[in-house]
Amino acid sequence: MSDDHVKIFDTTLRDGEQAPGFSMATGAKLIIARALRDLNVDIIEAGFAAASPGDAAAVRAVAEKIEGPRICSLARLNGADIDAAGRALEPAKSKRIHTFIGTSPLHREAKLKLTKGEILARISDLVAHAKSICDDVEFSPEDAIRTERDYLIETVQAAIEAGATTINIPDTVGYTTPEEITDLFRFLRANAPGGSDVTFSTHCHDDLGMAVANSLAAVRGGARQIECAINGIGERAGNCSLEEAVMALATRKDFFRVSTQIETPKIFAASVALARVTHNPIPRNKAIVGKNAFAHEAGIHQHGVLADKRTYEIMDAEAVGMPSNSIVLGKHSGKHALRSRIEALELSATPERLDELFVKFKRLADAQREVTDADVVRLVTGSNKRPGRAGPWRLRRVELRVELDEDTPPYARIGLEHENGARQTVTCEGEGPFDAAFNAVCAIAGVEGRILTLDIHHVAGAEDGIVRAEALVEIGDQEFLGTVREIDVAHAAVGAFVVAVNQAIADSKVAAA
């Protein structure tokens, strides 16, 4: 591998899932492992085999089913953990044991109650033991950043002599700074005996919001592996975010002069998959993958982007797999953006009419956070229905039920009326009441789909309804957006599903019932 290749070691399934609210069972881990394989990460840290029988089974399942990346398990520096990692990794074509022990004064004295010499002896014995099970061994001196430099060198030397091929330098508590970590990596590479034969790796936490900056700075100091996680998940404030580090290296290749093997167009899918399986939505303003990352609302920005998107975008949305750049209509938008959206919706307005519409548009934008396509259609046509897009179904009945006991799944009873007058009522179960309602709408309409996002907002001061729901659903291989305003949450959400399903039917992308 050339010296400008930076390996991406993904720890979403280990450090990432250690964080409260992110734990993943085997099925969820496999979904993410497939997304990581599609991203072409170099190494997947699939879990911590000794942590629980469930985690051992998850590591084994990933080792069995995922080919391409090297599969890794974490292990504390003791025989039982290392053996458990070795067993779980057995089916993997290509594997790694990652073993660690605390080396900073605090870890030695307060946590481990071991002397420097005792720790060095353990490193020598147990890294060698790991090496006897697996040829590829990574060693981490935990809390390396707060470890005395001369002692850090001794631990690194002991691990290399015992057979470690990757030396990871964790900033366990997110304490370092970019300048400091660049200097530390330069120091280790220059002074650790045997250091030129191993890969130095960086593993930064985000307690001070510097995990990505520190990881990139470590690369400047000679690190050739970045440990990171999708959406930056991980202990406490998280780990270095994979998508941010990878896109920084790609976008500023002129500066960093290194590359990764990541298939960047697969980034968005991996990020969405993680948000979905862990039920943690991607923050709207998240770099690279947030809904706003390539969205523009301010009039001046929209004008620039419509003329040439490079005016306000340093990356192509397509490069990270996001559906192209989006102009969001809101109170900061200008007339250019409104006209462009009207045309994109295959509608038209003379310049005089556009002036009138623009006044109404600003009023509407003041009353609600975002003006959707449905709002624009209503402004231009005076109707809720986009010409030629109305579908056959109307919502007639909504009943949602959630029991507090765990044995009764949430269910929904939904009634729809077809434009030919026929009515149907169906009861479905689901993971939640809205999921159940969507299943019922699909069952009646005879389509198969899934909810991608459901946003519900209270709209203060709007004239025709106080709850606005926007449902993005996938039907067939297409996405459809339904937006509705109603006076209650249940009717708004289910109404939005019906609008989206109607659009799918009207667009003839799926078979009508």
Residues that bind ligand KIV (CB under 6 A): 15, 74, 100, 140, 142, 168, 170, 172, 203, 205
The alpha carbon of residue 475 and the mean position of all alpha carbons in its chain are separated, in whole angstroms, by 22
| Residue 140 contact partner, candidates Zn ion, ligand KIV, none, CB within 5 to 8 A by sort of partner | ligand KIV
| Residue 334 contact partner, candidates Zn ion, ligand KIV, none, CB within 5 to 8 A by sort of partner | none
SS3 state at 23: coil
| Residue 100 contact partner, candidates Zn ion, ligand KIV, none, CB within 5 to 8 A by sort of partner | ligand KIV
Question: Mask of contacts with Zn ion, 248-287, x by CB under 5 A?
Answer: ----------------------------------------
Contact 75, 84 (CB under 8 A): yes
Whichever of 213 and 379 has its CB closer to ligand KIV, that residue is 213
Q: How far is it, in rounded angstroms, from Cα 149 to Cα 144? A: 9
Q: How far is the CB of 112 from ligand KIV (least distance, A)?
A: 14
| Residue 142 contact partner, candidates Zn ion, ligand KIV, none, CB within 5 to 8 A by sort of partner | ligand KIV
Length in residues, the chain: 513
| Residue 268 contact partner, candidates ligand KIV, Zn ion, none, CB within 5 to 8 A by sort of partner | none
Q: How far is the CB of 189 from Zn ion (least distance, A)?
A: 22
Tokens found for residue 188: 């280790």
| Residue 440 contact partner, candidates ligand KIV, Zn ion, none, CB within 5 to 8 A by sort of partner | none
Whichever of 18 and 503 has its CB closer to ligand KIV, that residue is 18
Stretch that binds Zn ion, among 11-19, 100-108, 290-298, 332-340 (CB under 5 A): 11-19
* Residue closest to Zn ion when measured from CB atoms: 15
| Residue 368 contact partner, candidates Zn ion, ligand KIV, none, CB within 5 to 8 A by sort of partner | none
Q: How far is it, in rounded angstroms, from Cα 330 to Cα 186? A: 49
CA of 342: how far to CAs of 36, 98, 301, in Å? 39, 56, 18
Of the candidates 153, 157, 104, the residue with the CA atom closest to the CA atom of residue 127: 157
Q: How far is the CB of 98 from ligand KIV (least distance, A)?
A: 7
Residues 6+ apart with CB under 8 A from 136: 70, 94, 95, 96, 97, 165, 166
At residue 364's C-alpha, the angle toward residues 287 and 483, to 5°, is: 65
Q: How far is it, in rounded angstroms, from Cα 239 to Cα 227? A: 8
SS3 state at 348: coil
Q: How far is the CB of 23 from ligand KIV (least distance, A)?
A: 16
Binding residue (CB under 5 A) for Zn ion from 9, 14, 15, 43: 15
Contact 504, 449 (CB under 8 A): yes
Count of C-beta atoms within a 10 Å radius of residue 384:
15
| Residue 375 contact partner, candidates Zn ion, ligand KIV, none, CB within 5 to 8 A by sort of partner | none
Q: How far is it, in rounded angstroms, from Cα 121 to Cα 125? A: 6
Whichever of 144 and 499 has its CB closer to Zn ion, that residue is 144
At residue 116's C-alpha, the angle toward residues 113 and 118, to 5°, is: 70
Whichever of 170 and 433 has its CB closer to ligand KIV, that residue is 170
* Mode of pairing for the β-strands spanning 326-327 and 295-296: parallel
Q: How far is the CB of 188 from Zn ion (least distance, A)?
A: 18
| Residue 199 contact partner, candidates Zn ion, ligand KIV, none, CB within 5 to 8 A by sort of partner | none
Q: How far is it, in rounded angstroms, from Cα 494 to Cα 433? A: 10
| Residue 297 contact partner, candidates ligand KIV, Zn ion, none, CB within 5 to 8 A by sort of partner | none
Transcribe 161-184 into DSSP letters: HTT-SEEEEEETTS---HHHHHHH
Whichever of 168 and 231 has its CB closer to ligand KIV, that residue is 168
Of the candidates 460, 486, 204, 478, the residue with the CA atom closest to the CA atom of residue 470: 486
Whichever of 211 and 216 has its CB closer to Zn ion, that residue is 211
Of the candidates 166, 161, 163, the residue with the CA atom closest to the CA atom of residue 141: 166
Which segments within 62-161 are labelled E, that is strand? Answer: 70-76, 95-102, 137-142
Whichever of 201 and 439 has its CB closer to ligand KIV, that residue is 201
Q: How far is the CB of 158 from ligand KIV (least distance, A)?
A: 17
Q: How far is it, in rounded angstroms, from Cα 375 to Cα 48? A: 50
Q: How far is the CB of 100 from ligand KIV (least distance, A)?
A: 4
Stretch that binds Zn ion, among 12-20, 70-78, 148-156, 280-288 (CB under 5 A): 12-20
Whichever of 77 and 398 has its CB closer to ligand KIV, that residue is 77
142 is a contact residue toward Zn ion (CB under 5 A): no
Of the candidates 74, 78, 68, 79, the residue with the CA atom closest to the CA atom of residue 55: 74
Whichever of 74 and 228 has its CB closer to ligand KIV, that residue is 74
Whichever of 166 and 439 has its CB closer to ligand KIV, that residue is 166
Residues that bind Zn ion (CB under 5 A): 15
